[in-house]
Amino acid sequence: MARHPQHLEREITNLKEKILSLGASVEASVQRAARSLTQRDSVLALKVIDSDFEIDQMEVVVEEECLKILALHQPVANDLRLIIAILKINNDLERIGDLAVNIAERAVYLSTHDKVDLPFDFQDMAEKTQIMLKGSLDALVNRDVKLAREVCLADDEVDLMNREVFTLIEDEIKKDPTHMNSLIQLLSASRYLERVADHATNIAEDVIYMVEGEIIRHFNKISERTSKFSKR
């Protein structure tokens, strides 16, 4: 059966539009979840939770489109890398949507309990995480490898902030366990933000693979282990 390149090109264009639409929905969900957390807004948090079904449906549609293109057109080279990257990015976006729901659920809980004064700026952490997510999606749209690499480098800063939250909350619980449940909810929210940053990094890494064919995942870990081994 003869393949029609113009059909493949049209379907890939349609697929790009769908993954970008999913990305926009997920980005909005994370923004609302973060705001509901920092502003103790349960109404906004519930909107995030309710919108998750739509994100799940969009993720299924993108996956089905990818599989259809692979089956009907058997793409090669750049087109094949693109489809593989979109399949992986699609999964990361769906997981980010789930994490936004998790953050929103923490916000609902915290909005119904006394406010805990923790010497940590969750707004700053949320903003850095959102910048990473936006950067990874912009890198996808523009096939911008430089921006994708900047997103990957930014992940260490969010990891550090999550560790700082853990230490602060551990100290607060030791000093006064009265608000332990609320503090644990805040710790969970921090961890979910850190996971959003991890998935944004995954997307950036997949953009690099899509454009350059280079797999960089785990590269830093491998380099560190090699370096430590060489020093023995």
The pLDDT value given to residue 53: 95
Instruction: Tally the C-alpha atoms within 13 A of residue 229's C-alpha that lie toward its C-beta.
Output: 6
User: Across residues 154-172, what is the average pLDDT?
Assistant: 94
For 138-155, how does the pLDDT look when each residue is reduced to its tens digit (9 = 90+)? 999 899 999 999 999 999
Average pLDDT of the chain to the nearest whole number:
89
Q: Is residue 162, in this structure, part of any structural domain at all?
A: yes
The pLDDT value given to residue 105: 97
- 112: pLDDT strictly greater than 50: yes
For 24-34, how does the pLDDT look when each residue is reduced to its tens digit (9 = 90+)? 999 999 999 99
- 68: pLDDT strictly greater than 50: yes
Query: What's the domain range around 118?
Result: 5-225
Q: Residue 106: give its domain's CATH number.
A: 1.20.58.220
Q: Is residue 232, in this structure, part of any structural domain at all?
A: no
Q: Which letter, b or e, does each residue of 10-49 get, where b requires 16 or more Cβ atoms within 10 Å of its Cβ?
A: ebbeebeebbeebbebbbebbbbbbbbbbeebbebbeebb
The pLDDT value given to residue 215: 81
Nearest residue to 221 via CA among 203, 205, 197, 200: 205
Could you tell me if 116 and 183 are in contact, meaning their C-beta atoms sit under 8 angstroms apart?
A: yes
Indicate the pTM of the whole model. Answer: 0.88
Locate all alpha helices (DSSP H) within the chain, ordered by sequence: 5-38, 42-73, 77-111, 122-142, 145-175, 180-212, 219-230
Q: Is residue 169, in this structure, part of any structural domain at all?
A: yes
User: Across residues 179-199, what is the average pLDDT?
Assistant: 95
Q: Is residue 52, in this structure, part of any structural domain at all?
A: yes
User: Across residues 68-87, what is the average pLDDT?
Assistant: 89
Total of domains in the chain:
1
- 217: pLDDT strictly greater than 60: yes
Q: Is residue 231, in this structure, part of any structural domain at all?
A: no
Q: Is residue 230, in this structure, part of any structural domain at all?
A: no
The pLDDT value given to residue 230: 39
In Å, how far from its chain's centre is CA 2? 39
